[in-house]
Structure 1
Amino acid sequence: MAFLFHEAESRWARMLDAAVHAALASAVGEDNIVSDPVGLRSYECDGLTGFRQVPGLVVLPLDTAGVAAAARVCHQHGVPFVARGAGTGLSGGALPVADGVVISLQRLRRVLEVDPVDRRAVLQPGVTNLDITKAAAPFGLYYAPDPSSQQVCTIGGNVAENSGGAHCLKYGFTTNHVLELTVVLPDGEVVTLGGDTAEQLGPDLRGVFIGSEGTLGIACEITVRLLRVPQTVRTLLADFPSVTEAGEVVSDIVAAGIVPAAVEMMDNLAIQAAEQAVGAGYTLETPAALVVELDGPAAECGEQFEQVKAICERHGCTRLHIAGDAAERAKIWKGRKAAFAAVGRISPDYIVQDGVVPRTRLAEVLGRIEDMGRAAGLRVANVFHAGDGNLHPLVLFDESAGELDRAEQLSKEIAELCVELGGSLSGEHGIGTDKACSMPTMFSRDDLATMDRVRSAFDPAGLCNPGKLLPTPRLCGEAPGRYRPHPLEEAGVIERL
């Protein structure tokens, strides 16, 4: 993990130039600027709290024009800036720059349009994921991607990280549901990427932008496609004597030609935490549980559901609970979606990792993670999207007992293990600050250079969310180009080694 410095409030970072403050006040209004030390501290990190840095200023624009004006000021003055939504990201993607600006999108919260005929919605980036479905529900429509944090995470952040969720196995990730983006580029220019349909002539700049983790610009209007609510939904919760049997069920379901809407797995630690938190009816003693959901036409859904039940029973299912109605189904999902936060009930601290492996290697990777946790003297809870091999291991530790360094090292080793087994460093949480140093384990020097060229085409000055996603030419985490001393170094608080 990057080494960050924490000093007294008066020594956090050099104050931004008064001219920059005045220009930003002119762009967005003085009332929409946060500059007091207490207020700034609210923006020092995202959901990955091990990385913290207090920004120089925070601006809160009210519309696309305000975002563009703020970006233009930063560009003109050479000030780095970071866009921030709800701050629920888990990779340090919204970590501020010490002497930079945070452009907060929390006031851009309007659903601009819901078109039930063409099944589209136009949204500002601060609209929460779940509120899209709420806005579409009166028309019998919904928005398919559903991260576990969907009640609080925003569509702008979903675009930045290309988020998925439990139902991404059948319905795909954010990129499969975004048609058009109104984007503020790093120099303040406003452009449109994509169009009325998913396929457009020329380079797919919409696809390049989605998942770029805020390094290419700021999405300020997002047009998404909506789906009709399925005719039938069937959900079951199945217990198994081991994660190996549960993993074999997942492989057999897919091998049978069945594509469930979702297949989620939880191990015993995750089950204990979730059940303590919400009482969803999970079996506390079971080593592993699967949540399987099918949807679609009633006849097809019914037939495939019977096949899934038979596969579960063939692999030693010890308990099979079928949701009888929407309320029971919601209860099962409440347990699964509460798992991340619920882990706080069984551990004072934890790190959420995110990696992907082939489905056929689920049992192997879980065994390896268990061995690695034992060697590190730490527990690891597992809850993940089993259908597409997207793991979310939670490394449990106690910082007050001096376990932080071991937890961070174990978390990094788990991410790199996924690459070793033929997978990737991230499925949906992103690389951000957390895993930038691990990128060379997955990509060659030429791959990384190509990514950097794309990034530089959008942002030649390197001001938009610097230090994220890509390892830098020198020490990992050091900004590319001419050496720029840290503000605390300039103030004489620290020395460069």
Structure 2
Amino acid sequence: MQMPRPNPDVLMRKAELVRRLHAFLPSDSLISDPVETKAYECDGLSAYRCPPMAAVLPRSTQEVAAVLKLCHEMNVPVVPRGAGTSLAGGALPTADSLILGVARMNDVLETDYENRVIKVQTGRTNLSVTGAVEAQGFFYAPDPSSQLACAIAGNIAMNSGGAHCLKYGVTSNNLLGVKMVTMQGDIVDIGGAHLDAAGLDLLGVICGSEGQLGVVTEATLRILHKPEGALPVLMGFDSNEVAGACVSDIIQAGVLPVAIEFMDRPCIEATDAFSDAGYPDCEALLIVEVEGSALEIEEQLEKITAIASRHNPVELRKARDQDEAARIWLGRKSAFGAMGQINDYMCLDGTIPVSELP
């Protein structure tokens, strides 16, 4: 991929841009030194790099609005950035652009357990949303593999999902409302704290737009009651095709797992070497997780293992407790770091239609 050529007229205005940004931003919220801006030259897709002209780290919606209004006036491109964990180049800047990061906007603004919603600033990390409500028995469902580090802003920009999206959906299924600053610097509220908020339903346009329409600074999210329990089963097969057929049979049987994860041999070997998860020697691996009461979990796992047995698995391993469950998930949760150690691999984030699976 070839990066676009920077606009020389914009580059010539860098000094003026920095001076005008300094007029309303604290000094520690503006980064313009060429050495320091290299920290923002890429996101998780590190194969492509380009330091921005400058970077800003605002602390409020009003500061975001002021930055965007100024950049619109000066015709300076702006690249919004969450935590920079994207594998799709969503936060990749150009040499004549300004990075606008929301990492310092990470507060919980409101929690409503009766209506099962939480309002947060979008610099808050995905996992810490659950951390804010789990003591009351709630959780936030979307769980990207980078959930420890990724920000809600990036989740909204990319419409992130995760291992458990099979049952709970992706970000758009769990997003009720946003406060957003348009690229012209106008602050707008879209959606609300309820499913049927007044006004046009524009959340579907914003969620997944990769920050092209504006910068989301606050988000109202749906939180759910934590299930009584959840356990996975690990299944190894002699081929990708057999594993794919097993997945189809599980779904066709009317069983709705909370998660189904697939790994082929290169991924199995890389993750096992990286995390020592103890995965079997096989061509394809499935991790299928179910949740509910102890009785519901046992019944669902029995159905799933019975279906899997018809496909002659190399190994069937049901987790009996949370320690065994964590060990089954260990390799999968370490997949990004494991694959990143392979020199001739490029880690990307893609979606494959079910009809195109082996």
- What TM-score range do you get, normalising by the shorter chain? over 0.9
Name the amino acid aligned to 1:2.
Q
1:233 has 2:237 as partner: no
Name the amino acid aligned to 1:125.
T
Query: Which position in structure 1 is the counterpart of 2:347?
Result: 352
Question: Following TM superposition, by how much is the alpha carbon of 1:28 offset from its aligned partner in structure 2, in angstroms?
Answer: 1.5
Q: Check conservation: 2:182, 2:215, Cα contact below 8 A.
A: yes
| Structure 2 unmatched runs, 5+ | none
How many residues are aligned here? 356
Question: Following TM superposition, by how much is the alpha carbon of 1:49 offset from its aligned partner in structure 2, in angstroms?
Answer: 1.7
Distance 2:46 2:114 in 1: 43
Q: Check conservation: 2:138, 2:226, Cα contact below 8 A.
A: yes
Distance 2:126 2:275 in 1: 22
Distance 1:321 1:19 in 2: 63
Distance 1:234 1:20 in 2: 54
1:253 has 2:250 as partner: yes
Query: Which position in structure 1 is the counterpart of 2:2?
Result: 2
Query: Which position in structure 1 is the counterpart of 2:338?
Result: 342
1:76 has 2:73 as partner: yes
Q: Check conservation: 1:251, 1:359, Cα contact below 8 A.
A: no
| Structure 1 unmatched runs, 5+ | 364-497
Query: Which position in structure 2 is the counterpart of 1:401?
Result: none
1:122 has 2:119 as partner: yes
Q: Check conservation: 2:340, 2:346, Cα contact below 8 A.
A: no
Question: Following TM superposition, by how much is the alpha carbon of 1:4 offset from its aligned partner in structure 2, in angstroms?
Answer: 6.0
Distance 2:250 2:95 in 1: 49
Query: Which position in structure 1 is the counterpart of 2:189?
Result: 192
Give 1:437-448 correspondences, 5 Å limit.
Answer: none
Distance 1:20 1:359 in 2: 48
Query: Which position in structure 1 is the counterpart of 2:145?
Result: 148
1:47 has 2:58 as partner: no
Distance 1:75 1:310 in 2: 60
Q: Secondary structure at the match of 1:37?
A: coil
Give 1:35-114 correspondences, 5 Å limit.
Answer: 35-114=32-111
Q: Secondary structure at the match of 1:65?
A: helix
Structure 1 pair 38–349 and aligned structure 2 pair: CA distance change class (3 A): farther
Q: Check conservation: 1:4, 1:53, Cα contact below 8 A.
A: no
Q: Check conservation: 1:122, 1:223, Cα contact below 8 A.
A: yes
Question: Following TM superposition, by how much is the alpha carbon of 1:193 offset from its aligned partner in structure 2, in angstroms?
Answer: 0.7
TM-score, with length taken from structure 1: 0.69
Give 1:386-465 correspondences, 5 Å limit.
Answer: none
Q: Which residue of 163, 169, 175 corresponds with 1:172?
A: 169
Query: Which position in structure 1 is the counterpart of 2:298?
Result: 302
Q: Secondary structure at the match of 1:82?
A: strand
Query: Which position in structure 1 is the counterpart of 2:259?
Result: 262
Query: Which position in structure 1 is the counterpart of 2:155?
Result: 158
Query: Which position in structure 2 is the counterpart of 1:362?
Result: 357
Distance 1:281 1:122 in 2: 40
Q: Secondary structure at the match of 1:271?
A: helix
Structure 1 pair 211–217 and aligned structure 2 pair: CA distance change class (3 A): same
Distance 1:202 1:168 in 2: 28
Question: Following TM superposition, by how much is the alpha carbon of 1:288 offset from its aligned partner in structure 2, in angstroms?
Answer: 0.9
Distance 1:244 1:308 in 2: 17
Distance 1:265 1:338 in 2: 14
Distance 2:62 2:279 in 1: 49
Q: Check conservation: 1:179, 1:196, Cα contact below 8 A.
A: yes
Name the amino acid aligned to 1:312.
A
Q: How high is the sequence identity, in percent, across the aligned residues?
A: 45
Question: Following TM superposition, by how much is the alpha carbon of 1:324 offset from its aligned partner in structure 2, in angstroms?
Answer: 1.3
Distance 2:222 2:200 in 1: 21
Bigger Cα displacement from structure 2, 353-362 vs 246-255: 353-362
Query: Which position in structure 2 is the counterpart of 1:279?
Result: 276
Distance 2:58 2:304 in 1: 50
Give 1:373-392 correspondences, 5 Å limit.
Answer: none
Q: Which residue of 179, 183, 188 corresponds with 2:180?
A: 183
Query: Which position in structure 2 is the counterpart of 1:325?
Result: 321
TM-score, with length taken from structure 2: 0.94
Name the amino acid aligned to 2:325.
R
Distance 1:158 1:316 in 2: 38
Distance 2:308 2:193 in 1: 43
Distance 1:323 1:299 in 2: 14
Question: Following TM superposition, by how much is the alpha carbon of 1:202 offset from its aligned partner in structure 2, in angstroms?
Answer: 4.0
Q: Which residue of 24, 27, 44 corresponds with 2:24?
A: 27
